[in-house]
Structure 1
């Protein structure tokens, strides 16, 4: 190797080695062990912990026909609605169901609500529902079924009607329609 080439190689080494050490030091300083990114907020769609304790629900005595219809309805309810899993209830598992925490509840065989003439009824997925705001929740009750079914959606859930729609198919499958339905429910 001639003298010029050797001198160039020496200068390249003299420049490259310190430069490499400086870059390595900068990388180590910016990526230190123990430094971590701030904890990410859970996404609204991420599963969240849910209570498994029974939900307190009353279970009024039902007529034989209503009890049969309610058992048929409860057998058709899904195990979960969106990310809310079904929970046990304190009374009447043959007529009541609960989902999530806070619990969205389903009660079969409830009293038919008195609907003021100015109130709206909502045909949601071929079932006619009446909505009433209660303290901390919205109650949706079927008004076109032989045995009324009530779905109670706590205020913590947005768009309570969308949660209620999830129960329309089981209601259609298990609870016969009334012959005369309220005005506003028909096609």
Structure 2
């Protein structure tokens, strides 16, 4: 009897298993990377500057401000202004003032101050007018939220005064604050509600 060898059958590789193994390898690499990134983020120390940053302490002492005598009508308008001011502007809380709370206000440290009933800056008479404190004829006035402001030039902070109101309001912003005009603008809405605009033709041309 002759043994007949049964021909060997070559088993073809399982294509499905190979593809599955390949995908498992490809997926495993990014998952490992993601896990590593998460672990690094978890153990990474906090930014030292952020962790050491602390709020500015607000002194309990009042902010020193002058309180000149005002006439009856101006006093009434200024009382309306100060009574409508918010208890905080951005992150600056309101503070007590040394004099005239019915016409003055202060916020934060260093203090942003508001003074109502101050002298109205006058427009210079000629282009090269050297009169101290006059508003140059070619100056660019700031119209913000329907209030016309003039930012006086100078160092050591900004002095910004309304130019279009029957009763002037002045805001002083210490130099440590960025964009001082935007800090003054925090009070524009209150001024619009409480102080009437000057009549047309009586305010600087840059305000009309």
Q: TM-score range by the shorter chain?
A: 0.7 to 0.9
How many residue pairs match? The answer is: 150
State the shift of 1:51 in Å: 1.9
State the shift of 1:42 in Å: 3.7
Aligned partner of 2:176 in structure 1 is 156
Once superposed, which parts of structure 1, at least 4 consecutive aligned residues long, lie more than 6 Å away? none
Choose which of 180, 188, 194 in structure 2 pairs with 1:174.
194
What is the TM-score of this pair, normalised by structure 1? 0.75
Is residue 104 from structure 1 mapped to residue 104 from structure 2 by the alignment?
no
State the shift of 1:40 in Å: 2.7
Greater Cα radius of gyration, structure 1 or 2: 2
Of Structure 1 and Structure 2, the greater strand share is in 1
State the shift of 1:135 in Å: 3.7
Q: Following superposition of structure 1 onto structure 2, how do residues 1-187 of structure 1 map, counting pairs within 5 Å?
A: 40-42=48-50, 47-114=55-122, 115-179=135-199, 180-186=202-208
Aligned partner of 2:16 in structure 1 is none
CA distance in 1, matches of 2:77, 2:121: 19
Q: What value does the CA root-mean-square deviation take over the aligned residues? A: 2.0
Whether the aligned pair in 2 keeps the contact of 1:96 and 1:108 (CA below 8 Å) is yes
CA distance in 1, matches of 2:162, 2:67: 18
CA distance in 2, matches of 1:88, 1:134: 27
Q: Which structure's relative contact order is higher, taking Cα pairs within 8 Å and 6+ residues apart?
A: 1
CA distance in 1, matches of 2:191, 2:64: 22
